[in-house]
């Protein structure tokens, strides 16, 4: 008879009802979560530890798609809950924990490298745990499922997964098809008694309604429509993506300058394809804004021809003042003519579609900035009557969708808008 994993009801970890339900599930493949704030990672970590303790000599692999994301989240929780009394060794070079009972817990990122996949394909495991399964591919899932072949007395093989709602193969496999030996256990912010009292209300203030329905209310269909330019899964994959940067890589910057109301000025710097700096500040006068930009150009030792500034409203005055000081940045007018007049209605559409292609190709790395991700998640597009791409304006985002101005998103789009270099030192009209 198979021995079900026990639950460690220690002072360190006290699972709430949905976590207990996931801990005691008998299915081989358990998907838990489906929203923000449902205690996903904590459940995953503690179930992994318990499987190591319940079956001496067990071998597990816990991971996310990208190693940097794993180190920022899952690894922190592992180090918190693996108490010294049960641990023999933490080998930080080879990425594994060895328990006193002989069990070993490997960890890392799946990624897409051939060498990485070859290494994983040779493993024999008792369980596999993956945080944010929607970031991975079904090929990864099938490969790792085939690694559940470790021979240990009375072992209960497990695939442990967390997720946020997203269109794609995870939804199909666990929510729609409901395959045998697969189970989805939903946990929402309201299920988690340990969240701050203002957790959910704070997120509702900054994210678009469709995102709220998806990530806070667990609606798997909310992000399938609405003409969103950036799929949320692509944004998460780009967070701290491992991209090599060298001194030869050009630094580019984009500045979206505040004009009115609650808007903020934002200055973003990238080196190569990796965003290395984002700064925002409240509305300032023209001269102060010029001074701040000059400070940042000096700080990052930047060539002005690789700096794209929003040149509308206050931005136009900043652009003109910098030119007077012989600092020849590129002044970009979002409503102006694009380089590719056949496919885009204006420069804003061209900038954003250029950015979309980078996320789609997996060639961009961004910081884990909640406001930036929220703003990118809210960008909508439409196709004009002449079949040209158009991005919903800032004004309509505020008026129709009741959203904040996407200042950080605009700054990022400006930062990656390399066509500007073809017409340097000219304000685009």
Tell me what pLDDT residue 427 has: 44
Q: Please enumerate in sequence order all residues whose Cβ is within 8 A of that of 291, keeping only pairs 6 or more positions apart, or say none.
A: none
pLDDT in tens, 168-218: 899 999 999 988 999 999 999 999 999 999 999 988 877 777 778 888 999
- Express each pLDDT in 146-156 by its tens digit: 999 999 999 99
Partnered with residue 132 across adjacent β-strands are none
Contact 306, 251 (CB under 8 A): yes
Q: Was domain 17-191 assigned CATH 3.40.50.300?
A: yes
How deeply is 361 buried, as exposed, middle or buried, from its count of CB atoms within 10 A (0-12, 13-18, 19+)? exposed
Report the distance separating Cα 55 and Cα 3, nearest Å: 9
With H, G, I as helix, E, B as strand and everything else as coil, classify residue 347: helix
- 82-88-94 Cα angle (round to 5): 85
Secondary structure class of 96 (helix, strand, coil): strand
Q: Is the dihedral of CA 423, 424, 426, 429 positive or negative?
A: positive
- Cβ atoms of 266 and 405 closer than 8 Å: no
Residue 126 is encoded by which pair of tokens? Answer: 């008792």
Rounded to 5 degrees, φ, ψ at 349 are -65, -40
What residues does 365 pair with on adjacent strands? 274
Q: Measuring CA to CA, which residue among 179, 147, 156 is closest to residue 63?
A: 147
Give the CATH class of 232-422.
alpha beta
Indicate if 232-422 has the same CATH topology as 17-191: no
What's the average model confidence in pLDDT over 62-79?
90
Indicate left, alpha or beta for 57 from its phi (over 0: left) and psi (-120 to 50: alpha).
left
SS3 content of the chain, % helix, strand, coil (to 5): 40, 20, 45
In angstroms, the Cα distances linking 173 to 64, 169, 186, 306, 343 are 19, 6, 15, 46, 37
Q: What is the CA radius of gyration of the chain?
A: 24
pLDDT digits (tens, 9 = 90+) for 257-316: 886 556 789 999 999 999 999 999 987 888 999 999 999 999 999 999 999 999 888 888
| Eight-class DSSP state of 247 | T
Q: Tokens for 236, please give them.
A: 């998460």
pLDDT of the residue at 203? 83
| Tokens linked to 96 | 């594994």
Joined tokens for residue 76: 């922190």
Helix axes 114-121, 138-145, angle to 10 degrees: 30
Identify which of 17, 4, 23 has the alpha carbon closest to the alpha carbon of residue 160: 23
As a whole number of Å, the end-to-end CA separation of the chain is 75
Largest Cα–Cα distance in the chain? 81
Q: What is the mean pLDDT of the chain?
A: 87
What residue segments make up the domains of the chain, in order of their start? 17-191, 232-422
pLDDT at 116: 55
Give yes or no for a contact between 164 and 220, defined as CB atoms under 8 angstroms apart.
Answer: no
List all residues 6 or more positions away from 75 whose beta carbon is below 8 Å from its beta carbon: 107
In whole angstroms, what is the distance from residue 159 CA to residue 307 CA? Answer: 47
pLDDT tens, position by position, 338-363: 888 888 899 999 999 999 999 999 99
Identify the pLDDT of residue 422: 52
Over residues 96-131, the pLDDT tens digits come to: 999 999 999 999 988 655 455 666 778 899 999 999
Strand 96-99's sheet: what is its strand order?
87-91, 96-99, 104-109, 59-64, 127-130, 158-163, 29-33, 182-186
Check: CB of residue 332 under 8 Å from CB of residue 417.
yes
């Amino acid at each position: 008879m198979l021995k079900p994993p026990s639950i460690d009801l220690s002072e360190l970890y006290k699972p709430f009802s949905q976590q207990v339900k996931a801990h005691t599930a008998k299915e081989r493949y358990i998907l838990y979560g489906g929203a923000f704030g449902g205690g996903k990672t904590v459940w995953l970590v503690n179930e992994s530890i318990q499987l190591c303790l319940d079956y001496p000599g067990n071998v597990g692999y816990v991971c996310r798609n990208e190693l940097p994301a794993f180190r920022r989240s899952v690894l922190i929780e592992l180090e918190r809950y693996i108490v010294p009394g049960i641990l023999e060794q933490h080998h930080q070079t080879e990425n594994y924990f060895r328990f006193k009972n002989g069990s070993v817990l490997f960890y890392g990122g799946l990624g897409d490298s051939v060498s990485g996949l070859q290494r994983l394909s040779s493993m024999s495991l008792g369980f596999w745990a993956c945080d944010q399964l929607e970031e991975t591919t079904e090929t990864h899932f099938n490969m790792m499922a085939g690694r559940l072949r470790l021979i240990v007395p009375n072992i209960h093989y497990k695939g442990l997964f967390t997720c946020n709602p997203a269109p794609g193969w995870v939804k199909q496999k666990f929510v729609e098809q409901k395959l045998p030996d697969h189970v989805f256990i939903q946990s929402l912010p309201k299920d988690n008694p340990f969240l701050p009292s203002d957790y959910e209300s704070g997120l509702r203030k900054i994210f678009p309604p469709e995102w709220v329905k998806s990530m806070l209310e667990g609606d798997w269909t909310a992000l399938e429509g609405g003409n969103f330019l950036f799929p949320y899964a692509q944004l998460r994959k780009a967070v701290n993506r491992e991209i090599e940067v060298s001194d030869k890589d050009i630094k580019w910057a984009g500045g979206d300058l505040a004009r009115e109301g609650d808007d903020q000025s934002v200055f973003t710097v990238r080196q190569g394809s990796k965003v290395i700096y984002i700064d925002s500040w409240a509305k300032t006068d023209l001269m102060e804004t010029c001074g701040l930009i000059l400070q940042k150009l000096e700080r990052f030792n930047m060539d002005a021809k690789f700096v794209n500034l929003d040149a509308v409203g206050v931005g136009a005055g900043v652009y003109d003042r910098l030119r007077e000081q012989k600092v020849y940045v590129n002044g970009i007018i979002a409503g102006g003519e694009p380089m590719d007049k056949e496919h885009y209605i204006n420069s804003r559409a061209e900038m954003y579609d250029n950015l979309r292609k980078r996320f789609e190709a997996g060639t961009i790395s961004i910081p884990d900035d909640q406001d930036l991700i929220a703003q990118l998640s809210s960008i909508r597009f439409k196709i004009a009557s002449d079949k040209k791409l158009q991005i919903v304006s800032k004004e309509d985002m505020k008026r129709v969708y009741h959203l904040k101005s996407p200042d950080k998103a605009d700054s990022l789009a400006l930062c990656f808008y390399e066509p500007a270099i073809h017409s340097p030192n000219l304000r685009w009209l």
